[in-house]
């Protein structure tokens, strides 16, 4: 989803030649394959959006896969890029890197200040490692090799190209799938996991793509003036949040589902509140433009296209 959105945005630039690869061509968990690919292609910039991702269900049921695959992907790409002489990388992390009890809204300095949310700890640890890989290579090789490896931490993302699997998806695509099927099948109620009380912030993937390109290309001197060597990652969020209950109502309205929404309190809520402080990137010059309901309408249209 994110990689496709970045590709769409980069395609708008006339002077940009984009290099891509699929899983059948390069297995990013295999060091040799990644080394060969980057040595052959030698891009000027890398947007590291590849990752194994999923919602609460898949994170809880596949912790080994989540930590192993994500560690291997980022370690192989970052190290192989260094070996190939590639000087610029943007690593895409996740808001789940922050402690469960972090002060809201969450600032970049909250990283490593407390315990993580248990339901996605393996994924979060892998993403923290990616941030620290970028920082470590910068610290050791910035002056000798001109490295400029950066990290951006998006809030919860949604939009075209998302995974709409009924169990393995994130909350928005999962709810879209559930409400659509309920409407098609004439079901009188839809069950939503958890109490509905947790609040989440959502950013459209096209806004995230623009934030990524913005952060990749901002002057190093300007970025360095607003970050620290060992706290160099930058948050990217929408700026406000919504309860899962209100989100479910909004998605039901977009899909025109008229039945009852029932919350299953036996299922985990995850972190109760998670709102990013995105003032750093806002002050540098980037702000989101896609309002939540507008984004949900386009995402539902993508889902319908996905079905056909």
**205 within 8 A of 154, measured Cβ to Cβ:** no
What element of type H or E holds 149? strand 148-154
Which residues partner with 189 through β-bridges?
260
Kindly provide the b/e burial profile for residues 61-79, where b requires at least 16 CB atoms within 10 angstroms of the residue's own CB. Answer: ebbeebbebbbbbbbbbbb
Sheet holding 234-236, edge to edge: 45-48, 88-92, 148-154, 234-236
Q: Which residues are within 8 A (CB) of 136 and not within 5 positions of it... i.e. 6 or more apart?
A: none
123 is catalytic: yes
Q: How far apart are CA 258 and CA 218, in angstroms?
A: 47
Q: Which residues are within 8 A (CB) of 166 and not within 5 positions of it... i.e. 6 or more apart?
A: 174, 177, 178
How do beta strands 242-243 and 156-158 pair?
unpaired
Which residue has tokens 């090799």? 145
Distances (CA, A) of 246 to 129, 168, 183, 234: 34, 22, 19, 28
Catalytic residue among 57, 98, 123, 158: 123
Q: Which residues are within 8 A (CB) of 108 and not within 5 positions of it... i.e. 6 or more apart?
A: 153, 227, 231, 233, 234, 235, 277, 280
Structure tokens at 177: 């799938």
CA atoms within 13 A on the CB side of 80: 24
Which residues partner with 90 through β-bridges?
47, 150
Catalytic site positions:
123
């Amino acid at each position: 989803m994110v990689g496709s959105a970045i590709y769409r945005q980069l395609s708008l630039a006339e002077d940009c030649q984009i290099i891509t690869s699929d899983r059948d061509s390069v297995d990013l968990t295999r060091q040799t394959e990644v080394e060969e690919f980057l040595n052959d292609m030698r891009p000027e910039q890398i947007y590291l959006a590849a990752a194994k991702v999923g919602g609460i269900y898949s994170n809880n049921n596949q912790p080994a896969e989540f930590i192993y695959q994500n560690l291997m992907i980022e370690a192989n790409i970052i190290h192989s890029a260094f070996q190939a002489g590639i000087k610029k990388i943007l690593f895409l992390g996740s808001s789940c890197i922050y402690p469960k009890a972090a002060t809201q809204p969450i600032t970049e300095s909250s990283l490593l200040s407390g315990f993580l949310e248990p339901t996605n700890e393996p994924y979060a640890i892998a993403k923290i490692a990616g941030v620290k890989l970028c920082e470590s290579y910068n610290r050791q090789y910035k002056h000798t090799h001109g490295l400029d490896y950066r990290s951006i931490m998006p809030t919860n993302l949604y939009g075209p190209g998302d995974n709409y699997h009924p169990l393995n998806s994130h909350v928005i695509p999962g709810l879209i799938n559930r409400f659509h099927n309920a409407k098609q099948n004439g079901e009188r109620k839809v069950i939503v996991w958890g109490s509905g009380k947790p609040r989440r912030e959502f950013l459209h993937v096209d806004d995230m793509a623009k934030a990524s390109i913005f952060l990749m290309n901002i002057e190093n001197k300007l970025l360095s003036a607003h970050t620290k060597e060992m706290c160099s990652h930058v948050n990217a969020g929408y700026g406000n949040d919504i309860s899962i209950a209100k989100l479910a109502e909004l998605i039901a309205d977009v899909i025109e589902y008229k039945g009852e929404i029932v919350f299953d309190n036996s299922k985990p809520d995850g972190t109760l509140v998670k709102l990013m402080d995105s003032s750093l990137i806002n002050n540098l010059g980037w702000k989101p433009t896609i309002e939540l309901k507008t984004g949900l309408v386009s995402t539902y249209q993508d889902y319908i296209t996905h079905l056909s």
